[in-house]
Structures are given as structure tokens and as C-alpha cells.
Amino acid sequence: MHPLHRWLDATIFGLGRQFRFSYLPPLMVYMAAGISGLTAIVGTFFVKDHFGFPAVFLAGLTFWVGIPWALKMPLGHLVDLIWRWKAALVWLGAALLTLSIGIMCGLIGHREAMAGVMSAEAWYVFSVVLAPIGYVLQDVVADAMTVEAVPAVDDQGRPYGEETIKAMHTTMQTLGRVAIISGTVLVALVNIVLFSGSEELGSSARAAIYARVYLLALVIPVLSVLGVILAAVIRRSRAARLGETGGARAAVRLEPHVEPTRANWWILGGGLAFAMVSVGLGIADVPYS
């Protein structure tokens, strides 16, 4: 076999053969994370064209955007504690993302009306801070969904061997990275197509492109929500199949966390303390805060 064919068979084709339908829900959430960069270029040009924020302000805003991601560990532990209801965090994250995108659409198309409620700058900051909260909530649940997507038993209720389960987890994690990268590549292509020749357009025409990109970005929360809905459908369908084939006793193994997770207060308390100190320094009038 040609070395290239051998490599393709061991990587791309191999991943395709090992794909399971149960892997699709977390891959949808990961794909949504990859597409999250869709509005990055638009946001940069929109700020440049309409706000003219100083560099110091934007650097400070970057600090606030990073706080939710710094809290990923305690949020991940929270998912363990509320395992059966973790899908609610994806719905919450999708709602925050939709609100963030909606604010930006309003600023682009109806700035005067938005400014009648509070300043356009305040709306922008509100939108920018909401987005990472939504993304990190969905990300921690996607990580948990990868565990749930790997079945512990086959369709007859027979348990898989340790090596088989390990291989399935490896495939699931690899496909997750592929989904994120694919979303990023798709974003690049969409931006190239939409912004091709935009430098010759007037401000109103460019604003129309900005608005179109944000409307397209609504696919991000929709895709993640569809992922958790599909996960629930797959889980119930598989449990029903196991019951019909006499594997009802093994059906409980579909849930990786049979015993409830105990709260680790070092993780939760440390995360809370970090958040309080960070936010306190961020809003306090302290030199170099």
C-alpha cells in the first residue's frame, strides 16, 4: 500500500469507520465553538468604524472576557454535580449568546433606538461580556457530553472491554478537535466570501454586511441546542433498545455517573474566591488594577 494511502486509512478513513452516531451531539456543540469566531472580524471593524475605543479600554475589556474561561475548572465540577441537568447549561449558554448577538444586530441596524435605553458603548460592552459566558457554559457541557457519548455496552447489553472503550474515547476526543477546526475553517471561508471587495463599499453597505454576519452567527446557539436535544433522543432510544433486547439491566450503564459526585469545596470555593478578587480589582479604583 502506498504510504499516503496507509496514512489516510489510519487517520481520516479510520476515524470515519470508528464514528458512532452517539458522537454527533457533542460534535455539534464543538462545531458551534469553532464557528464562534464568525463575528470576530466584524467586531473588530465595527469597533474601529463606530466607537474608536482607546487601546487601554480594549485591553481592560479583554480582561473581563477572559474571566469566564479562567473559571472553566469550577464550572466543569458544577457540571459533575448537576450531571442529569447539565443540558440546561447549554440552553442557558445559547440564550446568552443569542442575547449578545441580538444586541450587536441592534447596534448595527437600530443604533438610535438602542441609545435611547443606554449608550451604544455600554450595549457593546454588555454584548462582549455575555458572549464568553455563553461559550464557556457550552464548552464545559460539551466536554461532559463526550464521556456520555461513548457507550459502555453494545446494543445487546454486553459490556465493552477496557481497550475498546479507551479507543472510543480517543476517537471521540480526536473528532472533537476536528469539529472545532472545521468550524474555524468554515468561518474563514464565510468571511472571505462576505468581505470580498468590501473595502470599496460605503459605510452603510459595510454595515449591511456586518448585520448579515451577526444574523448568520445565530446558527451557533441553534446548533448547540440541537446537539443536546439529539443527545437526549439518542439516549432514550438506546435505553429502549436495550430493554427490548433483554439488556435493561445494563441500560443503567448508559449514564457514566451512577453515584452522585460529592462537591469539592476547594475547587468551588477557590473558583468563587478567584472570581470575587478579579471582579473586585476590575471595578475598584486601584492603581494598576
Return the amino acid letter for 29: V
Phi, psi of 153 (to 5 degrees): -135, 160
Q: Which three cell numbers stand for residue 241?
A: 433498545
For a pLDDT cut of 90, what percent of the chain falls above it? 14
pLDDT tens across 118-160, in order? Answer: 888 888 888 988 999 999 999 999 888 888 888 877 766 778 7
* DSSP-assigned letters across all residues of 30-46: HHHHHHGGGGHHHHHHH
Question: What is 25-283's CATH topology?
Answer: Growth Hormone; Chain: A; (1.20.1250)
Q: Where are the domains of the chain?
A: 25-283
Distance of alpha carbon 151 from alpha carbon 161, whole angstroms = 11
Query: What does pLDDT average to over the chain?
Result: 80
Q: Taking the CB of residue 118, how many other CB atoms lie within 10 A of it?
A: 10
**pLDDT at site 245:** 53
Q: Which three cell numbers stand for residue 177?
A: 478537535
pLDDT tens across 227-273, in order? Answer: 999 988 888 887 776 665 554 444 444 444 456 778 899 999 998 89
23-35 burial, b for 16+ CB within 10 Å, e for fewer? bbbbbbbbbbbbb
**pLDDT at site 7:** 43
**pLDDT at site 224:** 92
pLDDT tens across 40-86, in order? Answer: 777 777 777 677 777 777 777 888 888 888 899 999 899 888 888 88
Q: Which residue has the cell 480594549?
A: 58
Q: Which residues, 6+ apart, have CB-to-CB distance to 154 below 8 Å?
A: 160
In the chain, the N- to C-terminal Cα span, in Å, equals: 61
User: What mean pLDDT comes out for the span 10-19?
Assistant: 58
